[in-house]
Amino acid sequence: MAMLLGLGVFAGSLLAALLMGFAAAPYARSGPGGFGVNLRLDSGDPAEATLAVLALVHVLLGTALGVWALTQGIVAIVTARGRAFGVVAVVAAFLAPGLSLVVYMATAVANAQL
């Protein structure tokens, strides 16, 4: 169960980051401080507000499921019940947030019209 949850969080997070990166590209801004995608709820643009809510849901849901997968994976490793599956779950839950951020930013930058 831990491995399936960990891999599900990993794949789902990367897919959500990819889709949101494509959708957020029009809101990319380049300034003296560097590149950024600043999504706001009160911008007056319904698409930007929707993307901001989806980004928040992505982070909260990914965190909750990732911590769950991480906990189950650690328990599986420590109790020697499916140690290999537990290691896969821990690695997937550990890598998902960082890779999602990289995919999101790379997709937004690649599709931005700066």
Express each pLDDT in 42-66 by its tens digit: 878 788 888 888 888 988 998 999 8
User: What CA–CA distances, in Å, run from 3 to 69, 79, 88, 97, 100?
Assistant: 7, 15, 6, 16, 18
pTM, two decimal places: 0.78
pLDDT value for 41: 79
Q: Which residue from 106, 17, 109, 99 is spatially nearest to 57, judged by alpha carbons?
A: 17
Determine the residue type at 25: A
Q: How many domains does the chain have?
A: 1
What is the span of the domain harbouring residue 76?
2-111
pLDDT value for 34: 60
